[in-house]
Structure 1
Amino acid sequence: MNLVLWIAAGALATVALLGGVTKTFVPKKKLAAMHGGGWTAGVSVAFVRTLGILELFAAVGLILPAALGIVPVLVPVTAACWVVLMVGAALTHRRRGENALVLLNLAYLALAAFVAWGRF
């Protein structure tokens, strides 16, 4: 079970890292033109960058606390926060009619809920 939780946390951390780097460093105009990035056209640059930074923190929080044995309770807390983030992402994509992305968000949500449950 521990190995499965590590794999799930690693997969989520990878998703968070890629999303965080993209939202933090890719210009908003370019992001809005990307598949699934159309939602960024209706929000501020600061909001997109803030989400990106939060995703970078999530990538770190899903792995490092448990790997280093320093405040490992941060892993399930981070996973629970990721659940909340994915609810928001799913609602945003649903409102835009992007059903495939809603399903992807729900898959990430389920994975995060599993990590939160398993690590709590």
Structure 2
Amino acid sequence: MDLLLWVVQILLGVGFVLSGIGKFVSFGAAMQERQAYREDFTGAQLKAVGALEVLGGFGVVLPWATGIAPILTPLAAAGLGLLMIGAALVHRRRKEPFTVNLVLLAMAVIVVAGRF
């Protein structure tokens, strides 16, 4: 079970850090079309979400790995889960697929349940 939790934590951590960094970067027109949700948000809002994703990505791995305040790991996972609920609602409103958001939410729930 511990190995499964580590795999899920690392996948969540890497995925959210990369996704968060991506929200700070301006992409070309082709990428803008794939991320049409960007037009619903201001640049500051996207950067705030990106910062939360980066912090959550590190928070879901580092506290448990270092043993320093390990309670932060399930709390970070819970925060990422809340972000995914919000993201799924945005995609649903835009009539876009949101399966990835639900998978990431399920992974976050696994971490929360396993680490609390």
CA 47–31 in structure 1, closer or farther in 2 if over 3 Å, else same? farther
Give the equivalent residue in structure 1 for 2:4.
4
Residues 109 and 88 (structure 1), Cα distance of their counterparts in 2 relative to 1, 3 Å cut: same
Structure 2 stretches of 5 or more lacking a match?
none
Q: Which runs of 5+ in 1 are unaligned?
A: none
C-alpha distance in structure 1 between counterparts of 2:54 and 2:68, whole Å: 18
Percent of matched pairs sharing the same residue:
38
How big is the alpha-carbon RMSD for the aligned residues of Structure 1 and Structure 2? 1.6
Cα deviations by residue, 1:85-108 (Å, 9 ceiling, x for unpaired): 000000101111112xx1110000
2:48 is aligned to: 50
Say if 1:23 and 1:31, in contact at 8 Å, map to a contact too. no
Q: Does 1:116 align with 2:112?
A: yes
**Contact map agreement 1:28 1:45 (CA 8 A) in 2:** no
| 2:23 counterpart SS class | helix
Q: Give the TM-score normalised by structure 2.
A: 0.93
- Quote the offset at 1:30 in angstroms: 5.2
SS at match of 1:70: coil
Q: Distance in 2 between matches of 1:17 and 1:78?
A: 13
| CA deviation after TM superposition for structure 1 residue 28, in Å | 7.0
TM-score (norm. length: structure 1): 0.90
How many residues are treated as equivalent by the alignment? 116
Q: What is the aligned partner in structure 1 of residue 78 from structure 2?
A: 80
Q: 1:22 to 1:31 in 2, by over 3 A?
A: farther
